[in-house]
Chain A
Amino acid sequence: KAGVTQTPRYLIKTRGQQVTLSCSPISGHRSVSWYQQTPGQGLQFLFEYFSETQRNKGNFPGRFSGRQFSNSRSEMNVSTLELGDSALYLCASSLAPSGVTDTQYFGPGTRLTVL
């Protein structure tokens, strides 16, 4: 079974631009979570989607948004990029009808650099 796929793997943007990251979950998984990883703040939860519904959202500004499609693929969007948005963005998928009790499988991440 193929793992979680994230595209692109690397991105370079400039301040003020916007960016869209994509995540394809493991086949059959309907929950997709997004995390931001930085050296200073560590791993922080962004949001989680299940069957196209956002069930939880982390403490991030409104510039960070996401969505999930009917095939469970998910995208996250960051508008008006700031230097501090430079990070590794990780996506995780699980069967998870009931939350974290199902194992989350992480993708390799998208490395975003904001110049």
Chain B
Amino acid sequence: AQSVTQPDIHITVSEGASLELRCNYSYGATPYLFWYVQSPGQGLQLLLKYFSGDTLVQGIKGFEAEFKRSQSSFNLRKPSVHWSDAAEYFCAVGAEDDYKLSFGAGTTVTVRA
């Protein structure tokens, strides 16, 4: 069964600093990987996804993620965070011809001025 681990429950970062959120997955076949963001009181918004090809994926809001098969990781990065990036971030994994996503526990990001 597929599973996702987000080791960091909470990260605090200064505005303008870089951000990296970790995600490790467990899946036997080729995974389909996603990062979603959830602001308070909102649903989930897709930041980016990886299915195949270039292992560095660009997403919305200036985010990028790198797929590393050897490390079973799909870490999310942003070079310079803005106060509006404060939210909860979820990594998820799915499989082709599967109809569900398995989510990590989420990482809450706090941005300090």
Contact = CB atoms under 8 A, between A and B. Distances in A.
B43 A99 contact: no
Given A100-B32, A101-B32, A103-B49, A56 B41 contact: no
A106 B99 contact: no
A99 B41 contact: no
Nearest to A98: B97
Contact of B43 (A50, A58, A90, A101): A90
Chain A contact residues, majority secondary structure: strand
B98 A100 contact: yes
**B51, B92, B101: which has the most chain A beta carbons within 10 Å?**
B101
Interface residues of A, number: 27
B44 A45 contact: no
Nearest to A6: B43
A108 B43 contact: yes
B103 A42 contact: yes
A43 B103 CA distance: 6
A106 B47 CA distance: 12
Nearest to B106: A42
Contact of A106 (B43, B51, B98): B43
Contacts of B103: 35, 42-44
Interface string B92-112: 101111111111111000000
B27 to A, nearest CB: 12
A113 interface: no
A45 B90 CA distance: 14
A87 to B, nearest CB: 14
Interface in B35-92: 36, 41-46, 49, 51, 90, 92
Contacts of A92: 44
Contact of B94 (A99, A105, A107, A109): A99
Given A56-B100, A100-B32, 13 more contacts: A4-B43, A33-B99, A35-B101, A56-B98, A92-B44, A98-B96, A99-B94, A99-B97, A99-B99, A100-B100, A100-B101, A106-B45, A108-B41
